[in-house]
Structure 1
């Protein structure tokens, strides 16, 4: 679901991409002087120049001898070449030559700075090299030296007046952005004294944001101590704290929080996303633990907010789900239908479950007491798989209807969360609309203490297959059914769509009447789910009988079921609310 996707793509190296990189020396394209300069052989360069070879012949990259000597870091060869260029023409011509550019727009000064050749850069600057000359991809000598981490070259260029706040590359990064990205903390320490700390790129990302995104803790500390804004926001409202939380940079998160970063600033235009959402979504448990302590709990249940449980469920981050629930976040959260199209974290977890019966997130939410809606019950009942229903019944207590009212319910009983009246209504409504799967869910529900008479509805008697109908009738006094229900059974018998058990034509035996009375007194929940029957003054051999264990379950009639999603959609469009309570 696109609205849940929080990932902000890595910025990458903002220098841009050069063209083809020709690094080999081709004899037919590289001049003799340039080849000698590349090898750093001053004597050979001098000898070739004296013999009249040109220092300005260019190869297929636009490189001349000065470019080669500067890139190779040969101060002596650079001196020879510059002397030859000066002797060959006016000082203006020498100035033009020292600033000649390759096809990529690289000057000799740029090539030397890019490779950290301090002495060569100093020599070229003395020869009036343009210190701020831009390359085709908007780099410059200072930016190249910063990128390479050449501190002494950076200091030299700054001392000679290099521009420090110009933007470079298509993404508008400054030298400070690049130094932080590369983690050159010593250079960052120099630049914070001369650069704009709040310079923004094309996404309104500051150098401090870059430090948080890439986990450059030392650079982050330098920037913060220099006065950079820890709560700066990018164009999409992301903060450094959010991006550090997303990337899992624990030390950066801790430092930001300790120095004034606000964990409750909304970081998205679409919905009130907070750093805790990013940590939960990407499963950074240490970061999540720290943020839980400082994040306003209004995000858990507040209207117009989104619980971090939603994003954790979206990414199947069960560890995040478990921690949030353990720290008191509500398994029901708030209804986010208007924001995300989701009613609850449980509904989301169920619809995110693939081919498995249920996900770990579903298990955690059910165990934490998440409420069930009609749609949630469909996942448990509209299938021949019983894993999810069994999980639910492990953690839910089905109460006797008479113990519930519309206004109150028992929150927990015998260590289990008690189904509310509305949940029980919706469970029965879905069950009666999924009679085809009754052979699967009926034994489980009755064993879990559901009052059998709640299922003695016309629709059940009309639609259930014979085995299921016989199984249900074994749990009641079939001789006292209401006339309308008896009429349905008579009709089905006449149509031969149901073959009753032979003893259904007789009055129930006394033993059956007795166990029905025991169930009435104890209640089906206590009878079926506790050891209450074992406390009765009856022989132990009767315990199983009193709990209806002698009744054989019906077998499910297999037919190729449609995909669960189709069954859910079909249920939504065709089901009827059946008032059974």
Structure 2
């Protein structure tokens, strides 16, 4: 039931006179014998009205009238009478900051620790309202400072910190339990860190509060301040002994740096990077902050972490998060768009691609992701992969590792239906075409794709099994070869194949090496195979990317490459 609204027709004449501020009328009514304890619909009597208004003169008159009419016990009962909400006159005066009224009521033996229905008390009400003088007076009179109030079991110190009443916090820290905990085991210092009350936080720490206190879920003040982005509090906590390497979660070793990365607080993140143990970057059983930054699309934090040396590959978190790399997480966000900013940053930083990652680049008619990869990575020559130590850099850019190239080719050969999209890009990026002369490719590729691939090789020197596949397809009329394929390749084609072999397909296709050769400039395009028309992608109803990826996993067959 709501007892907050006052109905005028229920208010007694004495209470109405108090409310109007007419002391003469109050006295006149009291002399006539009118009751000072008649209640309105809220359970308020005249004393409650006088206390709420801060009218000390009316309070004196009411207390005197009741005292003259009865025993001291009756007067004390009147002073401590409660409204329907459980509010005493002292509570109402303290709530509104009426110091003189509170002092008078305390002198009249008001119970300063009386709880309301919602577990508040005069001191808590004064703290909540920021009434410093009232708080000071109640504390000096012995008010209970460590009692718990509200459903969350907050103490007065919790509430003072929450409201940012630093002057009141200075009073309370001298008499209160600094480590009082609410129902979530949250201390006042934790509250200060959570709500960015820097001055209160400083007062508490200077008074000796535990800087590494932990809530029920293991969160620390440093973690919550990092999560909320209160950089000044983070700085002060770190400067006064807060441990940035304390795990703050029951589920996985979450650190303050994860909280800052998750919510995009770059200023806090920069400070935490400098003090957090790098074991969280690649250590087994740990989780790199890159994961949470990517998961929450905090590209600025991803960029900062990578710039500060965090590994784009991090650790395998399959058991912890169900993810094998930051890149796999970033790519999983590409089902409804091209690729995220995080993918760009990871690829530029040299993130390794697994077979599953290549699916996103090749199992689609969109080529933007593959173009991005090839912009930052060089495809190695087959001979560079024979030794145990393939090149890590070429022309200042990372080179795909042996396993990365194997996985790329394996996915490509399993996705021949999209070859019209990825084949021209790979060949222009310097992939050795002979790596794709695989029986499955020759069996499944459509005519345009197959003709395009064969234009990059000496088709007359194909192995007998491959020639048999081509002859069978021609007989079945599933392949329409170019007319040139019926004859020995012309000398000009043989020459450009030789140039390609000598320079290497990477240098030929991706650098200006061709311009350095003593040949006429009109031949440059021919030597780079630009005269060959690209195949067109003809799928009429592309299926969603997520369905293609699922289909790849269902139909995947490993194909031996290299």
Quick check: 1:267–1:274 contact (8 Å CA) kept in 2? yes
Per the alignment, residue 70 of structure 2 pairs with 89
| 1:199 aligned onto 2:180 | yes
Counterpart mapping for 1:64-213 below 5 A: 64-213=45-194
Shift of 1:375: 1.0
Which runs of 5 or more residues in structure 2 are unaligned? none
Partner Cα separation in structure 1 for residue 353 and residue 294 of structure 2: 16
Q: Is the 8 A contact 2:234 2:268 kept in 1?
A: yes
Task: Mark the CA change 1:406 to 1:138 in structure 2 (over 3 Å): closer, same or farther.
Answer: farther
Q: Secondary structure at the match of 2:10?
A: coil
Equivalences, count = 562
CA–CA distance in 2 between the matches of 1:564 and 1:67? 70
Q: Is the 8 A contact 2:76 2:109 kept in 1?
A: yes
Summarize deviations over 1:485-518 as a string: whole Å, max 9, x none.
1222222222222211111111111101111111
1:34 and 1:559 map into 2 onto residues whose CA distance is 84
1:379 equivalenced with 2:360 (yes/no)? yes
Residue 336 in 1 paired to residue 317 in 2? yes
The more displaced of 404-413 and 332-341 is 404-413
| Structure 2 Cα separation of the partners of residues 48 and 348 of structure 1 | 78
1:534 to 515, 520, 538: 515
CA-atom RMSD in angstroms: 1.2
Give yes or no for contact 1:230–1:240 (8 Å, CA) kept in 2: yes
Aligned partner of 2:347 in structure 1 is 366
Match of 1:245 among 226, 233, 236: 226
Give 1:49 shift. 2.1
- What is residue 572 of structure 1 aligned with on the other side? 553
The CA distance in 1 between the partners of 2:391 and 2:138, in whole Å, is 76
The separation in 1 between residues aligned to 2:69 and 2:450, in whole angstroms, is 110
8 Å CA contact 1:146–1:154 kept in 2: the answer is yes
| Contact 1:100/1:108, CA 8 A, preserved across alignment | yes
Go from structure 1 to structure 2 and tell me whether the alpha carbon gap of 1:448 and 1:213 turns closer, same or farther (over 3 Å shift): same
Q: Deviations over 1:100-136 (max 9, x none)?
A: 1111111110011011000000111111111100011
Q: SS of 2:320's equivalent?
A: helix
After TM superposition, list the pairs within 5 Å mapping 1:523-562 onto structure 2.
Answer: 523-562=504-543
The 3-state SS of whatever aligns with 1:199 is: coil
2:293 pairs, out of 293, 298, 312, with 312
Contact 2:256–2:272 (8 Å) recurs in 1 = yes
Aligned mate of 2:269, from 288, 294, 298? 288
CA contact (8 A) 1:406 1:421 kept: no
Please tell me whether residue 219 in structure 1 is matched to residue 197 in structure 2. no
Q: Is the aligned partner of 1:399 residue 2:380? A: yes
Assess if the C-alpha contact under 8 Å between 1:39 and 1:72 holds in 2.
Answer: no
Aligned pair in 2 of structure 1 residues 44, 353: CA closer, same or farther (>3 Å)?
Answer: farther
- Counterpart of 1:509 in structure 2 is 490
2:461 counterpart residue number: 480
| 1:467 aligns to 2:448 (yes or no) | yes
Q: Distance in 2 between matches of 1:293 and 1:41?
A: 67
Q: Which residue of 1 aligns with 2:18?
A: 37
SS of residue in 1 equivalent to 2:522: helix
Q: Which residue of 2 aligns with 1:4?
A: none
Residue aligning to 1:10: none
Q: Deviations over 1:282-303 (max 9, x none)?
A: 1111111111111111111111
CA distance in 2, matches of 1:313, 1:452: 36
Q: Which residue of 2 aligns with 1:236?
A: 217
Are 1:408 and 2:389 matched, yes or no? yes
User: Counterparts in 2 of 1:7-18, with a 5 A limit?
Assistant: none
Q: Deviations over 1:355-377 (max 9, x none)?
A: 22100000000000000011111
**Distance (Å, rounded) in 2 between the aligned partners of 1:568 and 1:27:** 72
Deviation at 1:354, TM superposition (A): 4.5
The answer to whether the 8 A contact 2:196-2:230 is kept is: yes
Aligned to 1:22: 4
1:28 positional shift: 1.6
2:334 to 328, 353, 356: 353
1:421 corresponding residue in structure 2: 402
- Whether the 8 Å contact between 2:231 and 2:267 is mirrored in structure 1 is yes
Normalised to the residue count of structure 2, the TM-score between the two structures is 0.98
Q: SS where residue 189 of structure 2 aligns? A: helix
* Alignment-derived partner of residue 56 in structure 1: 37
Task: Give how far 1:406 is off.
Answer: 6.4
Q: In structure 1, what is the Cα distance between the partners aligned to 2:32 and 2:539?
A: 97
Q: Does 1:495 align with 2:466?
A: no
**Structure 1 gap segments, 5+ residues each:** 1-18
SS at match of 1:340: coil
1:462 Cα deviation (Å)?
1.3
In structure 1, what is the equivalent of residue 435 of structure 2?
Answer: 454
CA distance in 2, matches of 1:401, 1:487: 25
1:52 Cα deviation after fit: 3.0
1:551-574 C-alpha deviation (Å, 9 max, x unpaired): 111111123222212221221222
d(CA) in 2 for partners of 1:563 and 1:352? Answer: 14
Distance in 1 (CA, whole Å) between partners of 2:55 and 2:296 is 55
CA contact (8 A) 2:3 2:41 kept: no
Alignment deviations for residues 459-505 of structure 1 (CA, whole Å, 9 cap, x no partner):
11111111111111111111221122122222222222221111111
Deviations 1:276-333 (A, max 9, x none): 1111111111111111111111111111111110010011101100011001000000
Report the alpha carbon displacement of residue 405 of structure 1 after superposing the two structures with TM.
Answer: 3.7
1:375-395 C-alpha deviation (Å, 9 max, x unpaired): 111111111111111110000
